[in-house]
Amino acid sequence: MEGIEHKTVTVNGIKMHVAEIGQGPVVLFLHGFPECWFSWRHQLAFMASNGYRAVAPDLRGYSDSTGAPVNDFTKFTTLHVVGDVVALLNAVAAHEEKVFVVGHDWGAMIAWALCLYRPDRVKALVNLSVAFTPRNPTRKPVESLRAVYGDDYYVCRFQEPGEIEGEFAQIGTKRVLKNFLTYRNPCPLYLPKGKGLGDSADTPIILPSWLSEEEIDYYASKYEKSGFTGALNYYRALDINWELTAPWTGDQIKVPVKFIVGDLDLTYNAPGAKDFIHKGGFKKYVPLLKEVVVMEGVAHFIHQEKPDEINKHILDFFQEFPCLQ
C-alpha cells in the first residue's frame, strides 16, 4: 500500500514486523484472528492523513513476525504479547509516555491486557468486537466455554496442538480464511471433527463487497508462509493466562475507552454478553467507558466491513484528548 513503511523491530526476543505511516501522536493498531497488520489497511492511511502516526504490528506468531517458539504455546500468554507491545512502544514511540490504541478480536484482548498491566502507556483505547472480560477466580476459561458450548465449540477445538492445523491443511489455507473472514452468523461457531468448516468443499464462497480476492490472496500468502499454529496458540494459552493473572482479579481498566461492536457479531450474541455490556457490568470494570456503539447489520470484522464509520469513530474519540497529544 502506498506510503506505508515496513520494518522489522527486535522486541522481547522476537523479530516483529511493523507497518507504519504518518507523523504525529502514535496510534497503535492490534489485529485479531485470522488477520495481520493488513486488516487495518483502511485505518492506517486515514489516521495518517489526519495527523497521526499509525503503527500496526504483526503480533507474535503471526505473518512476518518471527522468532517466537510456535511449538510452545505457553510462550503466547497475554504477558508475553503485552511484553512485545511495550518493547515495541519503547522502540518506535520512545518520546511518548502514552499512545492511543485500537484493538480488534484478539488484538482487543491484548489491548485490554495492556491497559490492565501498563495503563501508564495508554492515552485512550478504542476496542472493537470483544468487550473486557473480568477474571472468574473459580473457573478456568476453557472449562467454562466447554461447559456452555460443548467440545465442538471452535475455541475448544483449537486446544489440541496440531489437530485443527491438520484439518485446515486438508481444507486449504485460502478457503479457511474465506470461511472465517466472511462469517456472519451471530450464533456460536462450531467446528465438529471431520466435518471441516461445515460446508462442502465444492461450494463456492461468495465474497462480500468489502473483501476482494486480491485481499484474500494477501492474507493467504502470509498464512501459507507462517502457518496457523502461532495464531492458534493464543487460544491454547487461555488457561495459562487465567493462572498468571490471579493478581489482577477484580481489577479495573482505568483508561478512557470507546467500545464498538456489530449486532451480528458472535461475541455480542454470546450468552450474557448484551446484559453485561449494557446493564452496568462493563461500566463497573471499565469505569472510564465513554461510549458503547452497536452497529446494525454488521458482523465480526467490523473495521473491514464498515471502514469509513469506524475511522470516524476512532478519530472523533481520540480528538477528545488534544491536551495529551
Could you give the CA distance from residue 195 to residue 200 in angstroms, rounded to a whole number? 9
300 is catalytic: yes
Cell numbers for 119: 495503563
Backbone φ and ψ for 195, nearest 5 degrees, come out as: -115, 15
List CB contacts of 168: < 8 A, sequence separation 6 or more: 176, 228
Catalytic residue (one of 104, 300, 303, 313) = 300
Residue 105 bears catalytic tag: yes
Strand boundaries in the chain, DSSP class E = 5-11, 14-21, 26-30, 53-57, 99-104, 122-128, 257-262, 289-295
Catalytic annotation, pick one of 235, 265, 303, 313: 235
From the list 58, 64, 84, 105, the catalytic residue is: 105
b/e 121-150 (16+ beta carbons within 10 angstroms → b): bbbbbbbbbbbbebbeeeeebbeebbeebe
In the chain, the amino acid numbered 317 is F
Q: So which residues are the catalytic ones?
A: 105, 235, 300
